[in-house]
Amino acid sequence: MVEAKLLLQTCEAVKQLYGQEVKPETIGLEKTNKEITGDFTIVVFTLLRISRKSPEATATEIGTFLKKNMPEISEFNVIKGFLNLVLTDHYWINFIAKNSLRIDFGFHKQRHERPVVLEYSSPNTNKPLHLGHIRNNLLGFSLAEILKANGHKVVKVNLVNDRGIHICKSMLAYTKWGDGETPGSTGMKGDHFIGRFYVLFNKQYKSEIHDLMEKGLTEEEAERQAPLIIEAQEVLRKWEAKDQDTINLWKTMNGWAYEGFDETYQRLGVDFDKIYYESETYLLGKKLVMEGLETGGLFKKEDGSVWADLKEEGLDEKLLLRADGTSVYMTQDLGTAQLRYDDYHPATMIYVVGNEQNYHFDVLKKILVKLGKKFASHIYHLSYGMVELPQGKMKSREGTVVDADDLMDEMLGTAEATTRELGKANEFSKEDADKLFNTIGLGALKYFILKVDPKKNMLFDPKESIDFNGNTGPFMQYTYARIQSLLTKALDAGYRYEETDISAQVSLVLLEKETIKRLYLFQEAVSLAGKEMNPSIIANYVFDLAKGFNQFYQELPVLKEEDKSKVLLRLSITAFVGRIIQTSMNLLGIQVPARM
C-alpha cells in the first residue's frame, strides 16, 4: 500500500531536511477530508520541534521533497499544519490494472502461527434457537471469515449446553405430560418439540410458587420448596449418578434437539469444525477444581461446597461445586477451556457470548489464573449487545422468544412479497424465484444484524430490513446484480475489458477517481474488521462502495461513452466493484444473486 511508502519517504525527508531520524509510526498520516483536495494528509505538528519552523513552512518543505522523490504524487497543498497530497491519475489507474482481476485482493497471506479457536452458537438442548442465537451465529461465522481473510487459521467450535438443571426441567416435563409423543408423531422439529416442555415446566412451576406464596411462604422460599424444582434437582442428581433410565431419556431428547439445530444451522448457512458438549467437559472441570483445592488455590466451606475467593481481584467468592457435589456453569467452562487448549494450543480463544455474561468471563479468567493456567491470558470475550424487537424483550421461559425458524420464514415471505411487488422476479422460473427470495430474505436478515456494531444493543425490524434502497442487504444484492447485467451486455457488445491493458490511461474524472479510492480502501476495511473483531466495519464499507458506485453508474455513461478507452476503464472499475461487493458480502456470510 502507498501509505507505507509515504511514511518512509516522510522519514527520509525529515532526515535530509532537518538532520534527525524519526520512526514511521510517529508520523501522522490520514485520509484527506472530502472537502479538501487531496488523497492523503500528513500532520506535521509533531515535527515542529525538529524543524524549528512554522507549520506551513515545515509542511511545504516536506511536500516539496515528497513530490520530487515520489512519482506517485502529482501535487500538494498546505493548510496550516496539514500537508495534503494528491496522487497521480496514473497511480490509481495502475492500481485498477494490477488488482481488478485478483480474487485475493485485500486478503492477507496465511500466517504461520497457532490457530484461533472461535466459539459461537452455544445452544441449550431444552429450547430452539431464537433471534438472540441468530445474532450470535451470524457474528461468529462472519468473524471467522474475516479472521481467515486476515491470514489466521480459524477453528470454529460450538459448545452445546446439553446438561444441567434447565435440561432436567424439560426431561421432567416430558415424563409428566409427554404422553409418549415424539417429533415424528407430532410433525414438529425436534428442538421446537423439546421447547414446548421447557415452557410447560416453567408455567407449572410458576403456578406452584404462587400457591406456596398464598400459604405464607416468601417468594424465595417458594422457589426452593416447589415440588417441581425439587423433582428436577433429583433428575439432575440421577443424571450425574449415571442412572440408566435418566441417561436414556436424556440421549433421546437431546438427539431430537440436535436434529432440529442442524436444520436451522444449514438454513442459516453457518457451520462448525468441532462440537464440544458440556456433558463431556464438566468432569474435567470438576477435576481441575479438585486439583485447585489440593494446591490451595480454592477452598471448601463447611457444607462441602467448593469456592474460589476472588475478593483480592475486586470480585466476590464464586461457587464451583455445590455441597451435593454437582457442578455449575463455571465448572464446565473451566474444563472446556482446558480441553480446547489441549486440543489446539491456540494463540487466542474467542468466545462470542452476549454482554450479560461479561462478569462470568471475567471470573473465568481469574479462576484460571488461580489454577495456574497461563492460557487464561489467551481468552477473549467478544461481548455483544442484545437484540430487541419493536414489541420489547424476549423471554425463553415464557415462550415469548422469536423463534429462528419462524423469523427466517417471515423474512422469506417478506422478500417474496417485496420482490414481486417491484417486478424483480417476473422472468424467473418458480425454482429460480424461490431461490432468489431465500437469498434476499436471508441477506436482509444477516446484513441488518451485522451492520450494527456488536457491542451495541439493537432493535430488529423485519420490514425495515428488506428495502431495495438504503443501507440494507437487498440494496447491495441489487447493485451487484445490476453490475453483472452491465458486464454481460458489455461482453455481448464485444468489449473484452478483462484482456485489455488499461494502464496507459492517464486522465480520470472525479467520480472515477472516487470509486477507485473506495476500492483501494477495502484492504484497510478487512484489516480493521479483523483487528477490532467487528463485522459492521465490512458492512458499512460495502454500503459506501455500493452507494458510490450507483452515483458513478447514474452520472457516467459506460457502454454509451464514445471514447472506447474510457469504456474499457469504466468496465474494469465496474467489474472490480462487483467483485469487492461479492467478497464483502461473503465475509458477512451473505450470497449475492447474479440477476434480480
**Quick one: pLDDT at residue 32?**
95
Predicted pLDDT at 396:
40
Question: Which pLDDT belongs to residue 401?
Answer: 67
- The per-residue pLDDT for 195 is 94
Helix or strand or coil: residue 51? helix
Judged by DSSP in three states, 155 sits in strand
Query: What is the value of pTM for the model shown?
Result: 0.92
- The CA-CA-CA angle for residues 503, 505, 510, to 5°, reads 120
Residues 6+ apart with CB under 8 A from 440: 415, 418, 419, 466, 473, 474, 477, 593, 596
- CA distances (Å), origin 35, targets 32, 43, 87, 218, 402: 8, 17, 16, 66, 45
Q: How far apart are CA 165 and CA 232, in angstroms?
A: 7
Q: Which H or E element spans position 40?
A: strand 40-43
Q: Is 383 helix (H, G, I), strand (E, B) or coil?
A: strand
Helix runs in 123-243, H state only: 131-149, 165-177, 183-186, 190-214, 219-225, 227-240
- Give the mean pLDDT per block of 10 residues along the chain (596 residues): 95 96 95 94 96 96 97 96 96 93 93 96 92 95 98 97 93 96 96 95 96 95 96 93 96 97 96 95 93 94 95 93 87 95 97 96 96 96 88 47 87 89 86 94 95 93 79 95 95 84 78 97 97 98 97 95 91 96 98 93
Task: Give pLDDT tens digits for 536-587.
Answer: 999 999 999 999 999 999 999 999 999 888 999 999 999 999 999 999 999 9
Q: What is the grid cell recorded at 9?
A: 519517504
Residue with grid cell 474494469, as numbered in its chain: 572
Q: What is the 3-state secondary structure (H, E, C) of 460-522?
A: CCHHHHCCCCCCCHHHHHHHHHHHHHHHHHHHHCCCCHHHCCCCCCCCCCHHHHHHHHHHHCH
Query: Cα angle at 220 between 327 and 250, to 5 degrees?
Result: 35
For 261, 460, 493, the CA distances from 134, given in Å and listed in that order, are: 12, 11, 44
Amino acid code (one letter) for 108 = H
Gap between the Cα atoms of 12 and 427, Å rounded:
61
* CB-based burial label for 219 (10 Å; 0-12, 13-18, 19+): exposed
**pLDDT at residue 504 in the model:** 65
How many C-beta neighbours within 10 Å does residue 225 have? Answer: 13
Question: 53: Cβ–Cβ under 8 A, 6 or more apart, which residues?
Answer: 61
From edge to edge, which strands make up the β-sheet containing 379-384? 274-277, 154-160, 116-119, 348-354, 379-384
Helices 473-492 and 564-587, packing angle to 10 deg: 140
Quote the pLDDT of residue 541. 98
pLDDT of residue 505: 63
H and E: helices and strands count for the chain = 22, 14
Q: Specify the pLDDT at position 387.
A: 87
Q: Please report the beta strands in 161-297, taking only residues with DSSP state E, as ranges in sequence order.
A: 274-277
Question: What domains appear along the chain, each with residue ranges and CATH number?
Answer: 2-87 (3.30.1360.70), 120-388 (3.40.50.620), 404-587 (1.10.730.10)
Q: How many CB atoms lie within 10 A of CB 140?
A: 27
Helix residue ranges, H only, 70-130: 89-99
Q: What nine digits make up the cell of 89?
A: 491519475
In the block, residue with C-alpha cell 506535521? 44
Question: Rounded to an integer, what distance in angstroms lies between the CA atom of residue 266 and that of residue 258?
Answer: 12
Radius of gyration for the chain, computed over Cα atoms and rounded to the nearest angstrom: 30
Cell digits for 250?
A: 436424556
429 and 154 Cβ atoms separated by less than 8 Å: no
Which of 493, 483, 494 has the alpha carbon at shortest distance from 570? 483
